[in-house]
């Protein structure tokens, strides 16, 4: 997956989460779609035909409400006042559901929650209303970027629709298929965001079948084009081609053009996945034209967001900024909290590339503030890394390092929270297994006690019979001594195995952080301070490996990195997995030249030969390395091992800021005490440029 693709898919996902009929605007509604005309038309019909016509009209209102929510909400209020004193319950439900969907997509939380509450009350007499209420709440939470809550309400709606509609929702007026289709689509997007593309494809296929049964060309074209993207991501090129061709055929049957906009958006994503820029940009430009022709400025703004991503990826920041500036006023008018930070971030990156550093940094901070409100920590980390790269290329290494630091701190926070969550799950999951192990240990202890008692009994018998069968007693005694020695040996082996397991990283087999800390602390305790060489290594762009190939491939890359690292170190060196994709090596009392040679050997061993995954695909992997031999010349100031690691860590940040895939060596320090070195580490870049720290930078030789 290309580096800009997560942003493209994320922005498209925000657009795709819109209600089915509101994803783009159709042509302006005809004059005979007002509330009084609707009432007169329904009065001429009866039962299911009337309800089916009302559902069709509701779909048109949702479409119009995407760009003009105030007008449509007022029209719905007029319609509700015009209903008879006791209208059919299904009519009342459709009107309330429509109000809730329009309000939710406009971010009107109070009004949407009010409609959901009324639908919930109707659920005592109409079970479909319960599902509609959950669907409205899911759309509202999605619009306000409350992802976990949106998923919970979508699952609730799916279950309620399944119970109320008895598997025939797509063909009955009572169970209009559009709401149910929307929650299934939301669940498919959630599975895709989590990296479970097989589950996403299964859910999307289910939604497509529902649209096909309802003969809904708009939803079917949308769903098939989304299925094409998933098929391509699953490496099924032929199926992706067939799905997109079918989507285009169904889109041409929609006279409003709104279906074709969705297909063009997905065509652009499909071209991006295939690294076909020549196909992506024209599709987006055509989608912009259709949205403008349909009179939907909000849809046009959302498409422009994807177009700005494409311009940035093509190295054209001026065009990207123009697209952002056209879209931002519209998004601000609708207070689109999901898309606004993406556009601000794109605009900030474009301005930095154009040399407008101060304004670009301000827009980046505004985007980060919005993401922080939504607690989108993973997106913030990606944005900080992207902005750090842009700032480094723009000649602002200090700001680049600051963004790297913030991204690194956020990654540590995310990793810590993930570890705590995983530990909680493991405690719950393995509690029974731990109890079983305790029981087995107790049984072994009882067996040993019983063996000891048996030994004592046998010894007594031996002494009693010693005068008669001395030779036999001696033989029995030898057997019992051997048995006791064997039991003790087994206990010692178990203790040794447990000790080794507590000191090793379970994935890579290297020493873990705890063992490495103990080894460094013990080495330091033997002298006045820490001595020896340190190498700190970090896999470059490791997140891309997980995003493009899955977390199993990421684990395989870490295992292979550990193997190659072990092949480089010497007897007596200690290599450990320091955390995540970071590794740390300690080599006792080497020369500076020896540490540098080891660093360059590791750099070449990792980067000069691509990694081969289990399915045969090759993945290029590089590393950034920082190294030093302590105490640092010329003054030989001794440091605690923790400060030595921190100093090398600053060197690693510098290697990242300089473009990665290189080694940064700390060759000397004009510092006479540990406090001076600590101040140099606190502002590494200034210390390097001022000559307080002597640094050698060596890119990898391929």
pLDDT score, position 31: 42
Q: How far apart are CA 177 and CA 464, in angstroms?
A: 92
536 or 300, greater pLDDT: 536
**Whether the Cβ atoms of residue 302 and residue 339 lie closer than 8 Å to each other:** yes
Residue 180: exposure state from Cβ atoms within 10 A (0-12, 13-18, ≥19):
buried
Cα→Cα distances 668→590, 678, 682, 685, Å: 15, 14, 16, 15
**Angle in degrees, 0-180, between the axes of helices 47-65 and 89-105, rounded to the nearest 10:** 10
Greatest mean pLDDT range, 15-19, 29-33, 177-181: 177-181
Active site residues: 581
| pLDDT band at 197; cut points 50, 70, 90 | confident
691 or 450, greater pLDDT: 691
pLDDT score, position 431: 66
Residue 413 pLDDT > 50, yes or no? yes
Residue 8 pLDDT > 90, yes or no? no
Residue 85 pLDDT > 90, yes or no? no
Q: How far apart are CA 161 and CA 132, in angstroms?
A: 8
Greatest mean pLDDT range, 174-188, 321-335, 350-364: 350-364
Residue 13 pLDDT > 80, yes or no? no
DSSP 30: P
Percent of the chain with pLDDT over 90: 27
363 or 86, greater pLDDT: 363
Phi-psi region of 533 (alpha: psi -120 to 50; beta: other; left: phi over 0): beta
How many helices (H) and strands (E) are present in the chain, helices listed first?
29, 8
Average pLDDT over residues 188-205: 84
Q: How far apart are CA 29 and CA 31, in angstroms?
A: 7
**Angle in degrees, 0-180, between the axes of helices 237-251 and 217-233, rounded to the nearest 10:** 160
Q: What is the pLDDT of residues 461-500, one digit of tens each?
A: 665 665 555 545 555 555 565 775 765 666 566 454 555 5
Average pLDDT over residues 336-351: 87
Report the run of H or E that residue 342 belongs to, with start and end. helix 340-353
Average pLDDT over residues 382-398: 87
pLDDT score, position 22: 37
Q: What is the pLDDT of residues 562-578, one digit of tens each?
A: 999 999 998 888 999 99
**Whether the Cβ atoms of residue 556 and residue 563 lie closer than 8 Å to each other:** no
Cα→Cα distances 52→287, 361, 479, 644, Å: 31, 52, 91, 73
Residue 404 pLDDT > 90, yes or no? no
Residue 519: exposure state from Cβ atoms within 10 A (0-12, 13-18, ≥19):
middle
Q: How far apart are CA 187 and CA 229, in angstroms?
A: 16
Report the run of H or E that residue 536 belongs to, with start and end. strand 532-539
pLDDT score, position 191: 83
Q: How far apart are CA 263 and CA 141, in angstroms?
A: 26
Q: What is the pLDDT of residues 507-553, one digit of tens each?
A: 999 999 888 888 777 776 666 678 889 999 999 999 999 988 888 99
What does the block give as tokens for 221?
A: 């074209």
Taking the chain, what is the end-to-end CA distance rounded to the nearest angstrom?
23
Cα torsion angle, 202, 207, 208, 212, sign: positive
| pLDDT band at 624; cut points 50, 70, 90 | very high
Question: How many Å separate Cα 436 from the centre of its chain?
Answer: 36
What does the block give as tokens for 684?
A: 């590494």
Q: How far apart are CA 38 and CA 57, in angstroms?
A: 8
pLDDT score, position 473: 53
371 or 12, greater pLDDT: 371
Mean pLDDT over all residues of the chain? 81
Of the candidates 355, 360, 351, which has an alpha carbon nearest to the alpha carbon of residue 394?
Answer: 355
DSSP 29: P
Percent of the chain with pLDDT over 70: 79
């Amino acid at each position: 997956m290309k580096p800009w693709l997560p942003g493209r898919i994320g922005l498209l996902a925000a657009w795709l989460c819109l209600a089915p009929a509101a994803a783009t605007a159709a042509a302006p509604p005809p004059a005979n779609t007002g509330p009084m005309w609707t009432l007169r038309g329904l009065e001429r019909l009866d039962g299911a035909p009337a309800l089916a016509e009302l559902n069709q009209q509701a779909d048109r209102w949702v479409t119009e409400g995407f760009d003009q929510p105030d007008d449509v909400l007022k029209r719905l209020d007029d319609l509700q006042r015009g209903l008879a004193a006791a209208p059919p319950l299904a009519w009342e439900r459709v009107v309330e559901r429509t109000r809730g969907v329009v309000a939710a997509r406009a971010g009107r939380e109070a009004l949407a929650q009010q409609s959901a509450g009324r639908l919930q009350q109707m659920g005592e007499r109409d079970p479909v209303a319960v599902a509609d209420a959950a669907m409205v709440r899911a759309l509202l939470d999605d619009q306000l970027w409350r992802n976990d809550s949106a998923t919970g309400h979508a699952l609730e709606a799916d279950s309620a629709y399944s119970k109320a509609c008895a598997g025939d929702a797509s063909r009955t007026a009572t169970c209009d298929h559009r709401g149910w289709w929307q929650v299934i689509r939301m669940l498919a997007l959630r599975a895709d965001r989590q990296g479970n593309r097989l589950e996403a494809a299964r859910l999307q296929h289910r939604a497509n079948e529902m649209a096909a049964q309802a003969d809904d060309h708009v939803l079917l074209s949308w769903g098939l084009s989304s299925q094409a993207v998933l098929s391509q991501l699953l490496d099924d090129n032929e199926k992706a081609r067939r799905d997109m061709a079918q989507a285009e055929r169904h889109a041409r049957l929609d006279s409003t053009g709104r279906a074709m906009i969705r297909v063009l958006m997905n065509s652009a994503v499909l071209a991006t996945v295939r690294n076909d820029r020549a196909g992506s940009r024209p599709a987006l430009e055509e989608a912009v034209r259709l949205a403008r022709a349909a009179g939907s400025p909000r849809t046009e703004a959302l498409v422009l967001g994807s177009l700005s991503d494409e311009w940035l990826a093509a190295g054209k920041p001026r065009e990207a900024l123009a697209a952002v500036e056209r879209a931002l006023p519209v998004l601000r008018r609708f207070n689109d909290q999901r898309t606004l930070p993406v556009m601000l971030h794109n605009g900030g990156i474009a301005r930095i590339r154009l040399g407008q550093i101060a304004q670009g940094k301000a827009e980046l901070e505004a985007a980060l503030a919005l993401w922080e409100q939504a607690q989108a920590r993973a997106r913030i980390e990606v944005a900080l890394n992207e902005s750090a790269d842009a700032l480094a290329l723009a000649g602002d290494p200090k700001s680049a390092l600051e963004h790297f630091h913030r991204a690194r701190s956020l990654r540590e926070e995310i990793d810590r929270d993930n570890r705590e969550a995983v530990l909680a799950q493991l405690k719950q999951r393995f509690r029974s297994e731990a109890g079983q192990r305790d029981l087995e240990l107790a049984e072994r202890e009882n067996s040993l006690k019983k063996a000891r008692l048996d030994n004592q009994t046998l010894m007594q018998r031996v002494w009693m019979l010693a005068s008669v069968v001395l030779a036999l007693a001696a033989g029995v005694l030898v057997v019992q001594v051997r048995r006791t020695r064997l039991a003790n040996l087994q206990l010692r082996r178990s203790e040794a195995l447990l000790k080794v397991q507590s000191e090793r990283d379970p994935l890579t087999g290297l020493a873990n952080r705890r063992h490495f800390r103990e080894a460094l602390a013990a080495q330091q305790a033997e002298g006045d301070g820490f001595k020896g060489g340190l190498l700190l290594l970090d896999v470059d762009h490791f997140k891309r490996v997980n995003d493009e190939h899955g977390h199993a491939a990421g684990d395989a890359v870490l295992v292979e990195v550990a193997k190659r690292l072990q092949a480089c170190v010497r007897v007596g060196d200690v290599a450990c997995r320091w955390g995540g994709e970071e590794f740390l090596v300690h080599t006792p009392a080497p020369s500076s030249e020896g540490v540098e040679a080891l660093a360059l050997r590791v750099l070449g061993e990792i980067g000069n030969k691509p990694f081969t995954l289990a399915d045969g695909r090759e993945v290029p992997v590089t590393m950034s390395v920082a190294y030093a031999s302590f105490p640092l010349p010329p003054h030989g100031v001794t440091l605690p091992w923790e400060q030595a690691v921190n100093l090398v860590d600053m060197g690693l940040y510098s290697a990242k800021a300089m473009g990665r895939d290189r080694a940064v060596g700390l060759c000397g320090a004009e510092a006479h005490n540990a406090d001076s070195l600590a101040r140099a580490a606190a502002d590494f870049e200034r210390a390097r440029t001022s000559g307080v720290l002597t640094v050698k930078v060596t890119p990898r030789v391929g």
